[in-house]
Structure 1
Amino acid sequence: MFTIDSYHADEMPGAFLFRSLDRLLRIGFVTPAIVRITVTGHDVFHDRPSRIVIGRPEEVEVKLHETPHEYTFRTTALTITLVRATGRLVYATAGGRTLMQEPEHGGKWLTPRPVTRNVFDRGIGIAEGQGIDGARANSATYTSLFDREAFEAKLEFEFAKDEALFGLGSHEEGYANLRGRSRELYQQNMKAVVPHLVSTRGYGLLFDCCSLMTFHDDALGSYWWADCVDQLDYYLLYGETYDGVIRHYRCLTGRTPLPPRWAFGYVQSKERYVNGQELIDVVREYRRRAIPLDVIVLDWKSWPNGAGWGQKSFDPLRFPNPEGLTTELHTLGARLMVSIWPIMTGSCPDQRELLQHGFMLGNQSTYDAFHPQARELYWQQVSRGLFSKGVDAWWCDCTEPFEADWSGAIKPEPHQRLRLNTEASKRYLDAGNINAYSLLHSQGIYEGQRRTNHQKRVLNLTRSSYAGQHRYGTFTWNGDICGTWDSLRRSIAEGLNFCATGEPYWTVDIGGFFLRNDPSLWFWRGDYNAGSRGLTAMDAIEPDPSDLGCTDLGFHELYTRWLQYAAFLPMFRSHGTDAPREIWRFGEPGNLFYDAIASTIRLRYRLLPYIYSVAADVTFSDASMVQAMALCFPQDHATHVIADQFLFGPAIMVCPITHAMHYSKNSRPIRDVDHTRLVYLPHGRDWYDFWSNDYFSGGQTILTSATLDHIPLYVPSGSILILGEVTQHTEEQPDAPYEIHVYTGANTSFTLYEDDGDSYAYEDGAFATTLISWDESTHNLTLSRRIGDFSSLVRERDYRVIFHTQQGQVMRELRYSGMQHTVSIPGSHFDL
């Protein structure tokens, strides 16, 4: 029996405290629409600063109604009922519509468990080695000491039959809707965990927990289990719509800083460019071919040969003049991203320095990102060795530094992988924190660069993620996946789940990381061996000019389709091993694949004014760039099962092609295959084919053209899409004309955002916005007076306005100088 105890006035002023024989239960409102539930088996709550939640509670007016059987709490947004006998909670809207509830018996369980910590002797030898996934170091000798009494926790749910669930990050299985599924939440090469679950009923569940967790909605029941918590601590966020849920999520976990504009251009990478001249030559070749490019990536082993793994400085033999290298790349309009690692071995200078200060974990090779001074020293090493040389961006690889299943010919079973990886992590990290390493590592990079240079935005591509990591300037990718059509299909669904959490920036290795099939390694199972190969000893010094890449036309088709999909992700990045990925590896102009790749990259650059404005909306309005159809159209239950379509911003529905139509592997031609795919057009909007301008009513499935030269795209009626010119990089031709595409059918608006593209001056108001509005009844498009200013603002720009109607297109032209301007089209174009 739970009885009200008092108002709890420490961390949560105004929270309600309840007691039973063996439990404390606290209900606290952060806002009228966000409630925090905390349960402990201790006599008091052990509130510590959260690693995930940084938002502070508001003063919320809560009306409490008490009966002999239950307590009812009402705010302007929520009604929450606590059953006194069991502690069961029922969550409903202020109007009484049930959102989610716990089972009759209560559903909140805490099981005491001891937590130990391991003490390592720095004099004991460390076993160092290098696998496919980089260097690893382990110590088998340590002493385990009792640290504290904690709990395993379990929270049970009763979901509605008609709701769909998304979130929890990106994993390997390829699930979109998580109903009837389970998820194991621990960090691993191909797992990026975010403990936030979002429902089509307009609510989210955020778990403030950094330990191993599992989620189940399957034959075992519907519940969330956590391995190690000091108290069960979670939030229900009622947003009414998906956008509202994400606003609440970022209210709790922090705002998203605006990435540099060039981060949304094309990023060229491979495993790996071996010297500075090769980097310059690749960028020059892109410029010669007039193919846009903004970032070139230097993967692992940029450090001095033979000096140990993970040193954060350039090899003086292969990169004799780092400042000259970055200056020349910048002159060519390209930025340099360099991979850095939390692991250092071989007694390299950075490792020795961190050891001297006691800032290494027990394996003496992985720095302690949980220690603020260790994070600061790690950044100092990055700054003096790389940032001071002109490096622009970071690829924080292996940010789940203790994975232990990356070997062997047979993939371990899921329960074995969970045990192997979490036990390896718990050897060196507190069991309650094994999921949070990437979050703290990203914090150190972000805060370090912000302290060092206010004129350069942080860009950090990192393989692991956690709730709140977006506030540190991160993009996450889904790890070292294989080059197969199945991997492409799975990536689409997993990207939707990652972005559904409210972590906005996600990407993939275009084409898959592994191309070849190596029977001795379970993870190296690509489908394409023809012409692909691994690096040789000579490649460590000089690139092989005879390496033409993978010659399998089956891979060329897969790569082209993958690239078309990735052009509609936040980061557009080609990367992988076994074969280089530059455009000329897929033919020359006139070749089917080359031309499709080139046109896709150019389309991405035309979309940059739209993409950058959506990114600003992510920053200023807590919007989302990639959205699952079910979360955008929750009332249309046909969308709940869609895993291969999504919205990119508010105005583009992307429909990737996920099977071969021209060639299977080994360049075998495919005969008698229709170059089409089925597309579902959700109810509630009508739709325009981006390519043909054909108009369709919503609520139907259509058969659409899917020839290799394009990816099917659809625009909802009542949309505005801003396109620019094709430029070779994001800083070329800043005053180039724009096109405003108005897809008529409903009133709509879009805010064009502009700033200097690379500094944090926008935080001080140095930016400009132009509200562009369409009035369906008057057939008027209005460019409102521009608001704001910054030093490099283009004062006047030519615009071409293209109105899309059911009957066709109408074009107008104007020159906009910042003052309100209205463009009309005749009503006859809307006559049926």
Structure 2
Amino acid sequence: MEVVNYIQQKDHLLLEGRTGLMKIIPYTKSIIRIRYTLENQFSEEESFFVEPDTQKNMEYSVEEKENTIIFSTRKVHIHINKNNAAFTYKDASGKLLTKEPKRGGKTLLPTEVLKPVYDDNTEIENSQNVDGARAKAVPIKHVVDRMAYQTKLEFEWANEEALYGLGSHEEGVLNLRGTHQYLYQQNMKAVVPVLVSTRGYGIIVDSYSTMKFHDDIHGSYIWTDVDSEMDYYFVYGPEFDQVVKSYRYLTGKAPLLPKWAFGYVQSKERYKSQEELISIIKEYRQRQIPLDLIVLDWRSWTGELWGQKSFDPDRFPNPTEMMEEIHKLNAKLMVSIWPIMSNDGPNHIEMKQKGYLLGNQANYDAFNKEARNLYWKQANEGIFSHGTDAWWCDCTEPFEADWVGEIKPEPEERLFINTQEAKKYLDPAYINAYSLLHSKGLYENQRQTTESKRVVNLTRSSYAGQQKYSAITWSGDIAANWKTLRNQIADGLNMCVTGIPYWTLDIGAFFVSDREQWFWNGDYQEGCEDLGYRELYVRWLQYGVFLPMFRSHGADTPREVWRFGEPDTPFYDTLVKYIKLRYRLMPYIYSVAGWVTHEDYTMMRTLAFDFRNDSNTYDIKDQYMFGPSFLVNPVTDPMYYESGSVELEVVPKKRSVYLPAGTDWYNFWTNQRLLGGQTIEADADLETMPLYVRAGAIVPIGPTIQYTSEETNLPIEIHVYKGNNGSFLWYDDEGDSYNYEKGAYATIPIRWEEQNNLLVIENRQGTYPGMKTSMELVLIIVSGEGENIDQRKIWYTGEQTIINF
């Protein structure tokens, strides 16, 4: 677009071209919105994920030069070439962040939007596969609904630049440079249209259609399939935490999950009765293995009434009493619900009578507020009113169509198959947003029903803004093999770097054995009887300890700890050791969760969050930071057994670990101190996942407990790792309810002054019901020298305490 005129308005700069309009809108000094249309005016459609009232009258300036218009806030300068509207983005010092090609980087291509037409004679084909019920309809015809645009936003990324984000996919790619990614919702694909660069900026694309990312032989660009105009945000950091904070300013803060959601979650496909659920919890309690949540997977309903949101009276004869007993055992229950309904169950009939079903007459229309309200009414009356605690919103990318056959379709074919199926029932401009609206309905309605229980929604899909609805995305129905474990680490990191804080997976993978279908390709026909699978499962669970949600789940084989051995055997003992470690770290983990909500922090952190200046970290996809202190290094190769319990010979029990530069590191298990900026061979026997703590870290560690709300008078340990100044904000609240939103929480700032060997525990700020007014603390100073540890006991009463070591 050639710029022929510009108009400086109070809240935006308007660029007029011979063939279009551009609008540059400063939302903050670091967030700039860019819109481009070929129409005579901009679209009035409201964003699904950007919060209202985020755009303020932010001060900006405009400077015109011979061939350039310069738009500036205090943080970002955009140089606009008058000849072709090519943008060059710089920071306030003039440092280049990124730029578009010299020919111009924004393209709009008109496209017809087709709408399928159904009538009362439309035939519905109902079926079931391993991924649940399916209903397919063939429209009687298609009509042109409107004209829209395909959009293409091009960049010239720098050679040394690394890019992350776009959600959780299945290829195990971390740094997206030199790759391509197809962005559509599918089992094992969860989309978030956010890119974050090590050059210190982010891109947020406000589109809900199919998208493509390319940085390959075809070019470097983001493409969207159907939009009324181009609409995106340029966000300056320069640090990743600042980009995430701006993302959440735009799209909404992440509410705090209940404390029990950070405990151990036991699930499998599937527990079939209330007796079985309760017996499993009792077994955990008898064995003194910590547990907080058990999960009821699909088919809680009666017979073949798929998606009915109520309990089968034969298998769950008294759900209210069941919940009372589960709660007496200090556990919680999560129940699976689906957006698809079939076989004329009561929920299905009611939705159909109201006209709230999509064209296949099975999936409810989550884009309709009244349909969302009815969906909640059904879920509340049939399930939540009995006292259940959490939702598992399965199959929230409801129109996958390629989970059949022996051979996995090619990526382009999968893109076509799945998006074409979705377009039969959803407007093609919105096929990526179903999960977002589904989560919105559940969250808003539960909040209106009660404030005493925080919303927990485990869901298989994601989109920008979904964090504000207390959604936790899991990575779908993955298969049990070492390659999948390796891939999942990068997949989760790319989800969390987008600003979506809560991601998890099936510990041990969903499919364990190998069957005819392409996706059922685990390596372990004998399940947990296979010593090879036991080794893989232990490594997976070690990794899972350091995920936002710590959850075991899957098909083919049981998942309870005792299925992997008995006490005094290595697999069993190692599993118990790491589950207990998760609970001992709960003061640290819940504090970090508090930061996620109150400070827009990110719990699971690609290394560039904390070491952006160390380019050696950019392509490391099997290590990450968990909070500010822990460098997590999962073991992703077998050392003891192949599948079939075949013993491996002469495999070193080591894994390579890069210790990022700029700090010393401590081996968590031995307290050995090591220099950063080097690669080491770390001990990695079965009992040991290499785990390192950054110098200057302050880590609160609690006693061994059996559930997150267990009260104990045992002391809390405060571990301080010498080598740098450090600080930690200890956060706590009731653990559930939304009283924290009204200020019912407490924080204790703790700092370590390295030069003075001084630990300062500041005055506690705030209070909440049930808070302990005093507590015993064991202060442990780790130096890595001599005897390694200096230890003191104190009694903290909420007032400033200074200890000189």
TM-score, normalised relative to structure 1: 0.95
Give me the whole-angstrom Cα distance separating, in 2, the residues matched to 1:793 and 1:258.
Answer: 18
Shift of 1:777: 1.8
Q: Is residue 51 of structure 1 aligned with residue 52 of structure 2?
A: no
Give me the whole-angstrom Cα distance separating, in 1, the residues matched to 2:384 and 2:260.
Answer: 17
The residue number in structure 2 matching 1:662 is 640
Matching residue within 781, 795, 805 for 1:803: 781
The residue number in structure 2 matching 1:249 is 247
Q: Map 1:157-556 to 2 at 5 A.
A: 157-306=155-304, 308-518=305-515, 520-530=516-526, 532=527, 550-556=528-534
Name the SS for the 1:578 alignment partner. coil
Matching residue within 88, 91, 100 for 2:89: 91
Is contact 2:139–2:424 with CA below 8 Å preserved after alignment?
Answer: no
The residue number in structure 1 matching 2:7 is 6
1:693-713 alpha-carbon deviations (Å, 9 max, x no partner): 001111000111001112110
1:86-139 alpha-carbon deviations (Å, 9 max, x no partner): 110000001100101000000110000111222221443311010010000011
Matching residue within 697, 711, 715 for 1:733: 711
Unaligned runs of 5+ in 1: 533-549, 826-832
Shift of 1:632: 2.0
Shift of 1:735: 4.6
Name the SS for the 2:80 alignment partner. strand
Give me the whole-angstrom Cα distance separating, in 2, the residues matched to 1:450 and 1:592.
Answer: 45
Unaligned runs of 5+ in 2: none
Shift of 1:747: 1.3
Question: What RMSD over aligned residues (CA atoms) do the two structures have, in Å?
Answer: 0.9
- Code of the residue aligned with 1:212 in structure 2: it is T
- Code of the residue aligned with 2:3 in structure 1: it is F
TM-score, normalised relative to structure 2: 0.99
Give me the whole-angstrom Cα distance separating, in 2, the residues matched to 1:748 and 1:201.
Answer: 26
Shift of 1:47: 2.7
Give me the whole-angstrom Cα distance separating, in 1, the residues matched to 2:557 and 2:121.
Answer: 43
Give me the whole-angstrom Cα distance separating, in 1, the residues matched to 2:5 and 2:633.
Answer: 53
Give me the whole-angstrom Cα distance separating, in 1, the residues matched to 2:239 and 2:15.
Answer: 31
Is contact 2:235–2:243 with CA below 8 Å preserved after alignment?
Answer: yes
- Code of the residue aligned with 2:21 in structure 1: it is L
Range moving further from structure 2, 56-65 or 311-320? 56-65
Shift of 1:68: 2.4
Q: Map 1:750-789 to 2 at 5 A.
A: 750-789=728-767
Give me the whole-angstrom Cα distance separating, in 2, the residues matched to 1:76 and 1:590.
Answer: 62
1:405-464 alpha-carbon deviations (Å, 9 max, x no partner): 010001001111000000000110011000000000000010010000011000000000
Give me the whole-angstrom Cα distance separating, in 1, the residues matched to 2:537 and 2:28.
Answer: 47
The residue number in structure 2 matching 1:544 is none
- Code of the residue aligned with 1:529 in structure 2: it is Q
The residue number in structure 1 matching 2:15 is 18
Name the SS for the 1:787 alignment partner. coil
Give me the whole-angstrom Cα distance separating, in 2, the residues matched to 1:163 and 1:68.
Answer: 31
Is contact 1:755–1:762 with CA below 8 Å preserved after alignment?
Answer: yes
- Code of the residue aligned with 1:71 in structure 2: it is I
Range moving further from structure 2, 318-327 or 742-751? 742-751
- Code of the residue aligned with 2:63 in structure 1: it is H
Is contact 2:720–2:752 with CA below 8 Å preserved after alignment?
Answer: yes
Give me the whole-angstrom Cα distance separating, in 2, the residues matched to 1:591 and 1:121.
Answer: 63
* Number of aligned residue pairs: 801
Give me the whole-angstrom Cα distance separating, in 2, the residues matched to 1:114 and 1:7.
Answer: 34
Give me the whole-angstrom Cα distance separating, in 1, the residues matched to 2:279 and 2:753.
Answer: 50
Matching residue within 65, 68, 78 for 1:67: 65
Sort the Cα spacing of 1:49 and 1:736 in 2 relative to 1 into closer, same or farther, 3 A: farther
1:723-775 alpha-carbon deviations (Å, 9 max, x no partner): 11111101112554211011111111111111110100000011111101111
Shift of 1:4: 3.0
Give me the whole-angstrom Cα distance separating, in 1, the residues matched to 2:118 and 2:481.
Answer: 43
Give me the whole-angstrom Cα distance separating, in 1, the residues matched to 2:725 and 2:239.
Answer: 20
Give me the whole-angstrom Cα distance separating, in 1, the residues matched to 2:720 and 2:776.
Answer: 16
Shift of 1:265: 0.1
Name the SS for the 1:282 alignment partner. helix
Q: Is residue 573 of structure 1 aligned with residue 551 of structure 2?
A: yes
Is contact 2:5–2:17 with CA below 8 Å preserved after alignment?
Answer: no
Is contact 2:20–2:38 with CA below 8 Å preserved after alignment?
Answer: yes
The residue number in structure 2 matching 1:537 is none
Give me the whole-angstrom Cα distance separating, in 2, the residues matched to 1:734 and 1:593.
Answer: 29
Shift of 1:6: 2.7
Shift of 1:59: 2.0
Give me the whole-angstrom Cα distance separating, in 1, the residues matched to 2:307 and 2:165.
Answer: 33
Give me the whole-angstrom Cα distance separating, in 2, the residues matched to 1:416 and 1:513.
Answer: 24
- Code of the residue aligned with 2:547 in structure 1: it is L
Is contact 1:613–1:751 with CA below 8 Å preserved after alignment?
Answer: yes
The residue number in structure 2 matching 1:129 is 127
Matching residue within 685, 694, 718 for 2:696: 718
Is contact 2:309–2:379 with CA below 8 Å preserved after alignment?
Answer: yes
Is contact 1:4–1:16 with CA below 8 Å preserved after alignment?
Answer: no
Give me the whole-angstrom Cα distance separating, in 2, the residues matched to 1:182 and 1:146.
Answer: 31
Name the SS for the 1:257 alignment partner. coil
1:475-510 alpha-carbon deviations (Å, 9 max, x no partner): 001100000000000000101101010100000100
Is contact 1:735–1:794 with CA below 8 Å preserved after alignment?
Answer: no
Matching residue within 644, 648, 657 for 2:626: 648
Runs of at least 4 residues off by over 3 Å:
none
Give me the whole-angstrom Cα distance separating, in 2, the residues matched to 1:527 and 1:791.
Answer: 50
Give me the whole-angstrom Cα distance separating, in 1, the residues matched to 2:679 and 2:480.
Answer: 30
1:782-802 alpha-carbon deviations (Å, 9 max, x no partner): 111111111110111111110
1:642-692 alpha-carbon deviations (Å, 9 max, x no partner): 010000000100000001001000000011011011110011111111111
Is contact 1:630–1:642 with CA below 8 Å preserved after alignment?
Answer: no
The residue number in structure 2 matching 1:813 is 793
Name the SS for the 2:344 alignment partner. coil
Give me the whole-angstrom Cα distance separating, in 2, the residues matched to 1:310 and 1:811.
Answer: 56
The residue number in structure 2 matching 1:639 is 617
- Code of the residue aligned with 1:112 in structure 2: it is P
- Code of the residue aligned with 1:450 in structure 2: it is R
Give me the whole-angstrom Cα distance separating, in 1, the residues matched to 2:179 and 2:362.
Answer: 37
Is contact 1:164–1:630 with CA below 8 Å preserved after alignment?
Answer: no
Shift of 1:43: 1.1
1:332-373 alpha-carbon deviations (Å, 9 max, x no partner): 011000000000000111011111111110111000000011
Q: Is residue 629 of structure 1 aligned with residue 603 of structure 2?
A: no
Give me the whole-angstrom Cα distance separating, in 2, the residues matched to 1:185 and 1:434.
Answer: 11
Identity %: 50
The residue number in structure 2 matching 1:674 is 652
Is contact 1:600–1:710 with CA below 8 Å preserved after alignment?
Answer: no
Q: Is residue 35 of structure 1 aligned with residue 32 of structure 2?
A: yes
Shift of 1:247: 0.6
